Amino acid sequence: MTAGRLSIIHVDLDAFFAAVEQRDHPELRGKPVIVGGDPRSRGVVSTCSYEARKFGVHSAMPLRTALSLCPDGIFVPVDGAKYQRVSREVMTVLRRFTPAVEQVSIDEAFLDVAGSEGLFGTAPDIARRIKAEVVAATGLTISAGVATNKLVAKVGSDLRKPDGLVVVQPGQEAAFLAPLEIRRLWGIGPKTAERLHGLGIRTIGELAALPVETLVRALGDHGATLHDRALGIDADPVVGGGEAAKSVSHETTFEVDVTDAAEIERTLLALTEGVSARLRSAGLRAGTVAVKVRDSQFRTVTRQKTLPEPSDLTDTIWRAALELVRPEVRGKKIRLLGVAATQLGRPEQTTMFEVVDAKQRRVVDATDAVRRRFGDRAVTRASLLNRGLPSPFERDPASAVEGRVGIAKVEDEIE
């Protein structure tokens, strides 16, 4: 049992993309809205309204499946640029209450309000004010969880959607979690859940009651971590106030499986354009480049490479990604392609590589300036024109759940 201070808030916009579309198009309100694009395509659901969820539609579901479940659903394309603008508006509201804001995806964030109570009241009071101000600023509802740590606050915000507020008092963390299904706990994905079901474990309380030695034998060291979490123990601090993000990524699902190497390389370049531009916008450089490749048999591989020097230049990141991708796509039909920049940090000093890349630096600085003034589509590479490639600044629905500069904290699976 923990007994920390009630100062952590997790906020999560309700059905974010769908809610934005319903806000901007009143004729969609009260109707099953599914964001992801043409239901005849091979894309996936980015998110859907609560009206659509009643039919069993959910995020990451193939659009064709969503259509079969909800034939009267209204399918709309992902408007990544618009959602990013609204997200920034919400984050601006959050930072009125504390500089300790950790944005973990486009539609959710953690706050530590321990230093703000003298100005705004208790943590539950602050959560209520945030909810009201987000509605006033954007017309959107937000659900919130308030607790002594991030884990419990996150679980709380998910429980009473939409427009919910759950407060877990200090010392009540384990009791609050106990009746909930184990999949609500960070780090428990389908495979881990299956193993725990084999041990007769269905609820978080049953997991907490299991001897830690049993969990370690079944799951390795991860079992001990899950045992702590089942008791509501989480020492992870809110990382805010300008701390660097952990990752920037961009991926796309092809309409038709691709075998042409040139098309794959052009697509990788388009994805890298988006990643590198977002790095530069955030003042970050990547120390490591990672790629994700999924073939027609749904086999997925990820590979990564450490750069000689951290970089935010498109060509540098693309060359590294290309080196990783080429052996993985040879002789295969490719369904999905992704690139990510990780090990992020801020530049500290000019290096030898900076001198060598000075010309590239001038080019990207000028390009970024044009895009800031005239829009993201104002400048693009000749090799990417009229190719039907993903826009470098609008992510595929499969990756749209990620933040602009950061991937959601919730862990899917550790195997």
Distance CA 143, CA 131 (A): 7
Could you tell me which of 243, 241, 246, 282 has the C-alpha nearest to residue 97? 241
Residue from 355, 257, 349, 247 nearest 291 by CA: 247
Domain ranges of the chain: 16-80, 178-230, 247-384
**Side-chain half-sphere of 111: how many Cα atoms within 13 Å?**
29
| Ramachandran bin of 169, using left for φ above 0, alpha for ψ from -120 to 50, beta for the remaining angles | beta
Kindly list the catalytic residues.
108
Q: Considering only the top CATH level, what class is 247-384?
A: alpha beta
Give the orientation angle of helix 358-374 with respect to helix 261-282, to 10 degrees: 80
pLDDT for 360: 61
Residue type, 282: A
pLDDT at 237: 86
- Domain 16-80 in CATH 3.40.718.10? The answer is no
> How big is the chain, counted in residues?
415
pLDDT of residue 364: 63
Mean pLDDT by 10 residues, the chain (415 residues): 77 97 97 94 91 95 95 94 93 94 90 92 97 97 96 96 96 96 89 90 94 87 88 86 69 90 94 89 87 88 90 93 95 93 71 49 58 48 49 38 30 25
Element (H, E) at 343: strand 334-345
Q: Exposed e or buried b for every residue in 137-164, given b needs 16+ CB within 10 A?
A: ebebbbbbbbbbbbbbbbbbbbeebeeb
Q: Which two tokens stand for residue 163?
A: 């427009």
CA distance 168 to 46: 30
Q: Which two tokens stand for residue 364?
A: 């990207």
pLDDT at 362: 63
Q: How far is CA 389 from the centre of its chain?
A: 22
Q: Do domains 178-230 and 247-384 have the same CATH topology?
A: no
Using DSSP bridges, classify how beta strands 74-76 and 33-35 pair: parallel, antiparallel or unpaired: parallel
Give the angle 361-365-367 at the CA atoms, nearest 5°: 120
pLDDT of residue 206: 95
Strand partners, 167: 146
Q: Does domain 178-230 have CATH number 1.10.150.20?
A: yes
pLDDT score, position 361: 58
Report residue 108 CA to chain centroid gap.
Answer: 9
